[in-house]
Amino acid sequence: MAEQGKLDEAIPHLERAIQLKPDYTEAHNNLSFALTQQGKWNEAIRHFERALQLKPDYAEAACNLARLLATCSEAQFRNPAEALRLAQRARELTHARNPVVLDTLAAAQAAGGDFVQAAATAKEALALATAGGNPIFAREIQSRLRLYQAGRPFCEPPPDGRQKKT
């Protein structure tokens, strides 16, 4: 349901799954992802952190939390240093072979002001996305690469069209 954009329907089911099985790491990660789509940053962060507490080597949760902390439309929730740490860990766990992880690492590097490294990492992500036959994602990475080359970080747009706070 969450993948289909039916967040209001998915969230109660994910919350119920966690009630029934509090150590269900995938449910924490998926709930966090859905909450992120609704702009419920505090709750999303809490569940991402819980997933990582339960399963420290959970690359997907580390990547997802890193992305939120690096690119959140609400500046108060950004934490470039923690985003970088988490993204580097996700990179290690995926052996630098996942374009989503590398794209997130590039965003975290840019959020911390390291635009040269962000551009280099984005180029790695772009090569992997292209080689993997994902042209839509490759175009998204390319647009972020242009930001980094211009010395600008990437921030996600607000989920509901609200004005972003920088």
Burial 4-31 (b: 16+ CB within 10 A, else e): eeebeebbeebeebbeeeeebbebbbbb
| Fold classified for 1-56 | 1.25.40
Q: CB count, 10 Å around CB of 38? A: 14
Q: Where are the domains of the chain?
A: 1-56, 80-155
> What is the pLDDT, as a whole number, of residue 1?
63
Q: What is the pTM of this model?
A: 0.90
What residues in the chain have per-residue pLDDT under 70? Answer: 1-6, 160-166
pLDDT digit string (tens) for 50-71?
A: 999 999 999 999 999 999 999 9
> What is the pLDDT, as a whole number, of residue 2?
58
> What is the pLDDT, as a whole number, of residue 163?
41
